[in-house]
Homo-oligomer: A and B are copies of this chain.
Amino acid sequence: MKYLQTVGLVSICLLLALGRSASAASSADILGQSPDSHWRTVDPQHTYVMQLTDKRMVLIELAPAFAPRHAAQIAALVKSGWYDGLAIVRVNDNYVTQWGDAEGTKPLPDGLSRTLPAEFELPRVPADLPFNAVPGRDAYAPEAGFAQGWPVGRQSARGPAWLAHCYGMVGAGRDSAPDSGGAGELYAVIGHSPRHLDRNITVVGRVLLGMEYLAALPRGDDAMGFYATPAQRVPILSARLLSQLPDAGRPVVQVLRTDSSSYARWLEARRNRTDSWFVRPAGAIDLCNAMPPVRLR
């Protein structure tokens, strides 16, 4: 079989990794050698599992550092079981898969509002938020890099800073008014990263596991990829925070710390592939090809 080297959320290269030089470690080697302290365990209060079927689990981490009100709203909705029985309503090829309360009529738990103020960007970057730049040119932002594992564009070190629409990132749909979103409908990016959406809509998190289920759904035939009939929709059996799951059934999910030396080495190995298959390592990488690896403990 002819092959291409693989990439993916939890990609482990199974090819014989013949280095270009004896000292060049592959990205798989680097992950294998990384100490546990270089991995961040996700917060069970801000990470949830959405079950599409018994076997199809989508795991989403929220980003309270960037969208605190939306993250709190989604966590509260998940906790109350509000997403249970809703559905995926839209799959637009090379763009997004979208789910939630398409009609906007499902009653909300007490104390929650249907809309929230926009959280498109952080006007100022908190001093304690690390930023690890991805070296090279970014087409959309003056500076691009990672903060606590999140892909970020920013104007300068002072801000503004915003989450980037990379493959697998999750946002909150809105109508025309900036403050019209409220986490009743969410979407995940399933194609080439639509970075023109950055700063135009609230990005709330990332799909850490299960993107293959959101991305492989039949595309919708209606305008903008909406399913033409309710019968085509894909039901959401349930959504639960990790903190709601019994200890025995709770996955321990980790993301490589983007401020660790392992990530820096991994990034460099991705910029310049050491596998012998590559005849011309790119010497470059873009933000959305540098998303930190995820693992299940």
List chain A positions with a Cβ less than 8 A from chain B: 1-9, 14, 89, 91-96, 98, 102-104, 120, 136-140, 166-168, 171, 173-176, 178, 180-181, 184-185, 187, 190-201, 211-212, 215-219, 223-226, 270, 273, 276-282, 284-289
Contacts and interface: CB of A to CB of B under 8 A. Distances in A.
A94 B168 contact: yes
A115 to B, nearest CB: 10
Given A225-B6, A278-B200, A1 B102 contact: yes
Given A94-B167, A120-B279, 8 more contacts: A1-B102, A1-B104, A4-B187, A5-B224, A93-B215, A137-B138, A176-B276, A195-B282
A150 to B, nearest CB: 16
A178 B279 contact: yes
Nearest to A198: B282
Given A139-B284, A282-B198, A175 B2 contact: yes
A1 B89 contact: yes
Contacts of A278: 196, 200
Q: Which of A9, A93, A217, A276 gathers most chain B CB within 10 Å?
A: A93
A134 to B, nearest CB: 8
A92 to B, nearest CB: 6
Contact of A185 (B2, B181, B194, B215): B2
A225 B200 CA distance: 34
B200 A2 contact: no
Given A7-B194, A216-B218, A285-B139, A93 B277 contact: no
A168 B94 CA distance: 9
A140 B282 contact: yes
Contacts of A6: 92, 95, 223-225
A155 to B, nearest CB: 12
Contacts of A94: 7-9, 167-168, 211, 215
A282 B196 contact: yes
24 contacts: A1-B104, A2-B175, A2-B185, A4-B95, A4-B98, A4-B173, A4-B224, A6-B224, A14-B224, A93-B212, A94-B167, A94-B215, A120-B279, A138-B139, A139-B286, A140-B282, A140-B284, A167-B191, A167-B192, A190-B215, A191-B191, A195-B284, A215-B215, A215-B219
Contacts of A200: 277-280
